[in-house]
Amino acid sequence: MELLKRKIIEEGIVLSDQVLKVDSFLNHQIDPLLMQEIGRTFANRFRESGITKIVTIESSGIAPAVMTALELGVSVIFARKRKSLTLQDDLYTEKVYSFTKKEESEVSISRKLLSPSDRVLLIDDFLANGEAALAMARIVENAGAEVAGIGIVIEKAFQNGGSKLRELGYDIESLARVTSLQSGSAVFAD
């Protein structure tokens, strides 16, 4: 997606050869027009996949997920990282090792929100080693539902998440595939 790549080049900050900071439009401040375009692009790609729900993880997946959901006319479930008074029982819970925080945490979704008839599109902001996407996929599959696709805003193609998920047979769309951050700027696959 050209608009996204331009944003990454103009506003992305390469923190190391592994980590890209995009706080000005995705991870802290949100650019709504860019999110709208991201939503349209994911929706067009997965329009024929029979999607009934979108699943993401709080918080940075929510904006692209909602814009996609608006286009597809479905609801968004965001997996929650902390249990709260209102979300305690009857949960699907999976462990996720966070690439950026370097710690393990748990994500949960209420069992009431997923059913075996659901065809789910997973959406996330970044794909690195695939931990977050795999945790979401396990939750969906534990509910007896099907992962019908995975939409990633920025895939770091030099890490192994993309190949892991493709080998497992998931249908993945990444809107920007970064092949290197080594020169201090992002290099794209195409």
- Is residue 79 part of an annotated ligand binding site? no
Site string (51-90) toward ligand 5GP, x via CB under 6 A? ---------x------------------------------
- Is residue 131 part of an annotated ligand binding site? yes
* CB 116, min distance to ligand 5GP, A: 26
Structure tokens at 159: 């890490």
Site string (117-136) toward ligand 5GP, x via CB under 6 A? -------xxxxxxxxxx---
Q: Classify the phi-psi angles of 73: left when phi > 0, otherwise alpha if psi is within -120 to 50, otherwise beta.
A: left
Handedness of CA 176, 169, 129, 181 (dihedral sign): negative
**CA 186 centroid distance within chain:** 19
Q: Classify the phi-psi angles of 105: left when phi > 0, otherwise alpha if psi is within -120 to 50, otherwise beta.
A: beta
Q: Report the residue from 3, 11, 27, 179 that binds ligand 5GP according to the rule CB under 6 A.
A: 27
Structure tokens at 181: 């951050």
Residue 30 in contact with ligand 5GP, rule: CB under 6 A:
no
The Cα 135–Cα 140 span in angstroms is: 9
* CB 151, min distance to ligand 5GP, A: 13
* CB 71, min distance to ligand 5GP, A: 22
| Cis, peptide link before residue 59, omega less than 30° from 0 | yes
Question: In the range 90-109, which residues lie near ligand 5GP by CB under 6 A?
Answer: 99-100
Q: Which stretch binds ligand 5GP (CB under 6 A): 17-25, 112-120, 169-177, 182-190?
A: 17-25
H-helix or E-strand spanning residue 176: strand 172-180
Site for ligand 5GP, rule CB under 6 A? 19-22, 27, 60, 99-100, 124-133, 156, 161
